[in-house]
Amino acid sequence: MKIIIIGAGPGGYETALLAAKRGVEVVLIESAHVGGICLNEGCIPTKTFCKNAEVLDSLREGETFGLTDLTYGFDFSKVIDRKNAVVEQLRGGVEGLLNNKLITLVRGKASFKDAHTVTVTPGATPVTMEKSVEYSADHIIIATGSVSSSLPIPGADLPGILTSREILDIEKVPSSLCVIGGGVIGLEFASIFSSFGCEVTVLEYCKDILPRFDTDLAKRLKQSLSKRGISIETQAQVTSITECDSNAYTVSYTRKGKEETVTAEKVLMAVGRRANVASLNLDDLGLEYTQRGIVTDERTMQTNIPHIYAVGDINGRMMLAHAATFQGIVALDHIMGVENQIDLSVMPAAVFTSPEAASVGLTEDECKERGIPVKCLKSFFRANGKAVTMGETDGFCKVVVAAEPKEGAQSPYQPGRVLGCHLYGPHSSDIVQEACAMISRKATLEEFQSVIHTHPTLTEVLQSAIHSV
Ligand code: NAD
């Protein structure tokens, strides 16, 4: 068996490695660096910035921890150097893993010639091919990821307007930053640059930040970020951007019928990402796609052409690196007729703000909308011993549990089954993993309660919530 995989991000390269491990021959085509957006200009570089932000925040609180007469400088070029070094180290690791006799890594741009053949043309970084080459295979997996979206408003294409890619390489910390979009990307950069000493304003179109997260969590996280000095305007519809002088932009928006403006040295556009279907020649192929991305079967990741699969951001289902990896496993298993127990609907997500937020499973709002009776159990980091010792007590944990339906009503879930967990506070991105493990095994509250947590740890926040019945 031979498989072509287009795109070497966490969807593509992880699937290629697993396929090779199972003895399948793979042609992996990549037009840029291996590792995809996640490793080169997404999750990994932003997390290096998060670490810098954390160090600076700790220094600011130095007196609390007995540090006196503290003076320090902040050389932003070192932040960029460290980020680049981390990315290069990890990219080198992926390249090493891909150096496998069953994997042919082709550096170039792929386009479908027909349903079994892909033409690869030069134009990659780093360039390693001189002329176009064709590859054919029994099965093809498309994993070409996504690109930043912009707004169809005047000024959105001004040269200085940053996306999540350019902001990773700016030369200095701006004195002020206006972030358009209070989603995951917008808030992570807002939090980071606020810690870097920049005055940050976030403009979010919806009623709350993080529209896809638990409302309660979003409201409290907003308060928390506002307390740190980040100005967040919700229900703000951005209408135009103008360059007011060589050093600043004015962002105009309407809020509750009133025209308002924000002036900032830099503007970050963080209003979502769209599937990267460009140059694949999908129209000639007859492969179905919408504005959201390539249409796939929710369980197999098959497209309307059954031997072609699409995994990761390209199918627009869940724009998360780990979703791409697991969708890749699901696709490969389907190709090879391997059974698995992966439930793609139980997908954890984390927002690396300070404090962090994380979520898995159904939210209370979703349950209300779907008429699922639930009870919510809560606990607070201020009552968690470890959080108090760390001086990081801001945050809560909320567990959504299926409840008994009213007489005559029905629920798709057995009462007592744990359906979701939503939290913000220190190390939320790690804590959510336990809830994810239990929810994906369809655990009940009683089963959750039987798990012993080490004391004193932050994970006890989850224990406190599930025992608060
Ligand atoms: P997003 O969809 O999470 O957020 C975009 C935000 O922009 C939304 O809140 C939306 O309401 C707002 N918006 C849209 N139009 C607007 C307007 N005219 N004015 C003001 N606000 C407007 O998208 P994102 O933050 O760009 O992230 C893209 C994708 O990448 C997401 O799917 C995200 O989950 C993923 N991602 C995940 C992580 C992570 O898991 N830590 C990190 C980065 C990105």
16-44 pLDDT, tens digit per residue, is 999 999 999 999 999 999 999 999 999 99
Give the active site residues. 455
Q: Measured in angstroms, how far is the CA atom of residue 189 from the centroid of ligand 1?
A: 12
Contact 98, 28 (CB under 8 A): yes
Give the pLDDT score at 130. Answer: 78
pLDDT of residue 160: 86
Instruction: Give tens-digit pLDDT for 42-94.
Output: 999 999 999 999 999 999 999 999 999 999 999 999 999 999 999 999 999 99
By most ligand atoms within 8 Å of CB, the mutation choice from 39, 165, 184 for ligand 1 is: 184
Q: What residues does CATH 3.50.50.60 cover in the chain?
A: 2-147+274-336, 161-271
Continuous H helices in 158-299? 184-195, 215-227, 282-285
> pLDDT over 70 for what percent of the chain?
99
User: Tens digit of pLDDT for each residue in 387-416?
Assistant: 999 999 999 999 999 999 999 899 999 999
pLDDT for the residue numbered 90? 98
CATH class of 355-466: alpha beta
The answer to whether the bond into 45 is cis (omega within 30° of 0) is no
Confidence tier at 245 by pLDDT (50, 70, 90): confident
182 close to ligand 1 (CB < 6 Angstrom) = yes
For residue 212, pLDDT over 80 is answered with yes
Give the model's pLDDT for residue 127.
Answer: 63
Residues 214 and 398 sit within 8 Å (Cβ to Cβ): yes
Q: Beta strands of 383-430 (E only): which ranges? A: 396-402, 418-424
The number of the ligand 1 atom at minimal distance from the alpha carbon of 211 is: 9
pTM above 0.85, yes or no: yes
Distance CA 221, CA 199 (A): 18
The pLDDT score that the predictor gives to residue 247 is 83
Geometric angle at alpha carbon 20, from 19 and 24, rounded to 5°: 70
pLDDT for the residue numbered 228 = 96
Measure the CA–CA gap between 296 and 133, rounded to whole angstroms: 28
Give the pLDDT mean for 242-259.
94
Q: What angle do CA 92, 93, 98 make, to 5 degrees?
A: 95
Determine the residue of 235, 253, 271, 347 to mutate for testing ligand 1's pocket, defined as the one with the most ligand atoms within 8 A of the Cβ atom: 271
Predicted local confidence at residue 128, as pLDDT = 67
How far apart are alpha carbons 376 and 177 in whole angstroms?
A: 37
In the predicted model, what is the mean pLDDT of residues 158-175? 96
Our answer on whether the CB atom of 38 is closer than 6 Å to any ligand 1 atom is no
Q: Give how far the C-alpha of residue 239 lies from the chain's centroid of Cα atoms, to the nearest Å.
A: 26
Task: Using the atom order of ligand 1, give the atom closest to the CA of residue 185.
Answer: 25
Nearest alpha carbon, ligand 1 atom 32: 319
Alpha carbon nearest to ligand 1 atom 16, residue: 205
Protein residue closest via CA to atom 34 of ligand 1:
319
Within the chain, all domains assigned CATH 3.30.390.30 are found at: 355-466
Ligand 1 centroid, distance to 167 Cα (angstroms): 15
- Tell which CATH architecture fits domain 161-271: 3-Layer(bba) Sandwich (3.50)
Which residues in 350-382 are b (16+ Cβ under 10 Å) and which e?
Answer: bbbbbbbbbbbbbbbebbeeeebbbebbebbbe
Q: Which ligand 1 atom sits nearest the alpha carbon of residue 237?
A: 19
Cα 468 to ligand 1 centroid, rounded to whole Å: 33
**Of the candidates 325, 314, 312, 321, which has an alpha carbon nearest to the alpha carbon of residue 288?**
314
CA 464 to ligand 1 centroid distance, Å: 32
- 3-class secondary structure, 465: helix
How many Cβ atoms from other residues are within 10 Å of residue 399's Cβ? 27
For ligand 1, the distance from its centroid to the CA atom of residue 181, given in whole angstroms, is 6
Q: Kindly report, residue by residue over 285-335, the tens digit of the pLDDT.
A: 999 999 999 999 999 999 999 999 999 999 999 999 999 999 999 999 999
Band (pLDDT 50/70/90 cuts) for residue 112 is very high
* Closest alpha carbon to 287 in 404, 148, 140: 140
CATH code, residues 2-147+274-336: 3.50.50.60
Percentage of the residues of the chain whose pLDDT score is greater than 90: 95
